[in-house]
Amino acid sequence: SDLDALIDALPKAELHLHLEGSLEPEQLLEFAARNKVDIPFKTLEEVRAAYEFSNLQDFLDIYYQGMSVLQTEADFHDLTDAYLQRVAADNVRHVEVFFDPQGHTERGVPFDVPISGILKALDAAKAKYGITYRLIMCFLRHLSEEEAFKTWDQAKPWLSRIHGIGLDSSENGHPPSKFARIYEEARKEGLKLVAHAGEEGPPAYVYEALDELKVDRIDHGNRSLEDEKLVARLAESGMTLTVCPLSNLSLCVVDDLTQHPMKKMLELGLRATVNSDDPAYFGGYVSQNFRETAKAVGLTRDDIITLAKNSFTGSFLSADEQAPHL
């Protein structure tokens, strides 16, 4: 359709992407074979069948299991490069990507391995694909504050290469306030701050992310819509929400894409953006998220242009760096 052509043609930024969530079934088998990692699947069909779930925890269990095939710097490089190549074809010009160091150090892969491989691919992206980047290190919120501080210490030599920190994994029972001291340290180092909040968790967690973590962006934020005062605050402050429609559908945050709040978010004056979250698991990269959402909730040309613009104004690029894309 006309809208699909517009979506393809517009320069876009992706602000919510877990690199480990871009591990396609084919790559999982390839990395398992080359690293001789035992996995409980033999065929693509078996992997695809395993990439099925209906809530955040079921997804996370499979996501952490999938990570076990990522062993070497080359694996992380190849994973990142494949993602960049994929989104370059969709006119994505800038990416702000997450990685989960604790998902790797926990199983004996040293901190330096993932970050070295990831940065090698990201550093080549401008020349290879015309894509700029920021790298965001996430803490797993189901682990302790002490574990987060251990990871923070391992990250210290890399801080000039890490632009921001994030908070992900199982949300309920692990409120943002649990990590207030880590965020304070990162803020002192001049890092950008983001956190998943209001995906499955209540509006109170979005308030905590704002007030106790002092985040620059909210990842997801869907459940903010349950609280009128919170919506007004987010709209007035121009807070960016990195919304992930196909993720929300896969994890039953919404029952049906026609029920997705994206249109409503724009009507409420929220600075929403469209992102893929874990595209290998949720059935689509960023352009597909745009296309399916546009169709399901009736986004107009203006809505789509606004969303593409928001992806740059909500990014951590300077105004000068954003300008050519707007």
Known binding-site residue numbers:
16, 18, 196, 277-278
DSSP label at residue 161: G
DSSP label at residue 107: T
Binding residues for substrate: 278
* Binding partner selected for residue 21 from Zn ion, ligand ES4, none, CB under the kind-specific 5 to 8 Å limit: ligand ES4
C-alpha triplet 170, 47, 115: angle, nearest 5°: 55
Q: Binding residues for ligand ES4, how many (CB under 6 A)?
A: 11
Check binding of 277 to ligand ES4 (CB under 6 A). yes
* Binding partner selected for residue 169 from Zn ion, ligand ES4, none, CB under the kind-specific 5 to 8 Å limit: ligand ES4
Burial class (CB within 10 angstroms; exposed 0-12, middle 13-18, buried 19+) of 153: exposed
* Binding partner selected for residue 81 from Zn ion, ligand ES4, none, CB under the kind-specific 5 to 8 Å limit: none
Q: How far is the CB of 138 from ligand ES4 (least distance, A)?
A: 7
Which position among 14, 24, 199, 208 bears the catalytic label? 199
C-alpha pair distances (Å), 204 with each of 16, 149, 264: 21, 24, 21
Q: How far is the CB of 96 from ligand ES4 (least distance, A)?
A: 15
Q: Which residue in the set 93, 94, 104, 196 belongs to the binding site for ligand ES4 (CB under 6 A)? A: 196
Q: Look at the block and give the residue holding tokens 């605050």.
A: 233
Check binding of 20 to Zn ion (CB under 5 A). no
Whose Cβ is closer to ligand ES4: residue 21's or residue 117's?
21
CB 325 within 8 A of CB 91: no
- Residue nearest ligand ES4 (C-beta atom): 168
Check binding of 96 to ligand ES4 (CB under 6 A). no
Check binding of 276 to ligand ES4 (CB under 6 A). no
- The 10 Å Cβ neighbour count of residue 15 is 30
DSSP label at residue 131: -
CB 200 within 8 A of CB 253: yes
Binding residues for Zn(2+): 16, 18, 196, 277
Q: Which residue in the set 22, 247, 273, 275 belongs to the binding site for ligand ES4 (CB under 6 A)? A: 247
Q: Which residue in the set 7, 21, 28, 273 belongs to the binding site for ligand ES4 (CB under 6 A)? A: 21
Check binding of 96 to Zn ion (CB under 5 A). no
Instruction: Based on the residue annotation, tell me whether 46 is a catalytic residue of this protein.
Output: no
Check binding of 278 to ligand ES4 (CB under 6 A). yes
Q: Rounded to the nearest 10 degrees, what angle do helices 286-297 and 301-313 cross at?
A: 140
* Sign for the pseudo-dihedral over CA of 61, 70, 48, 241: positive
Nearest by Cα to 219 from 136, 128, 106: 136
Q: Which residue in the set 56, 125, 262, 294 belongs to the binding site for ligand ES4 (CB under 6 A)? A: 56
Check binding of 100 to Zn ion (CB under 5 A). no
Check binding of 275 to ligand ES4 (CB under 6 A). no
Beta strand 240-243 with 217-220 is parallel
- Residue nearest Zn ion (C-beta atom): 277
Q: Which residue in the set 78, 277, 292, 303 belongs to the binding site for Zn ion (CB under 5 A)? A: 277
DSSP string for residues in 15-70: EEEEGGGG--HHHHHHHHHHHT---S--SHHHHHHHS--SSHHHHHHHHHHHHTT-
Cα–Cα distance measured from residue 64 to residue 66, given in angstroms and rounded to the nearest whole number: 5
Check binding of 178 to ligand ES4 (CB under 6 A). no
Whose Cβ is closer to Zn ion: residue 71's or residue 311's?
311
Binding site for ligand ES4 (CB under 6 A): 18, 21, 56, 63, 168-169, 196, 199, 247, 277-278
Active centre residues (catalytic): 199
The residue ranges that bind Zn ion (CB under 5 A) are: 277
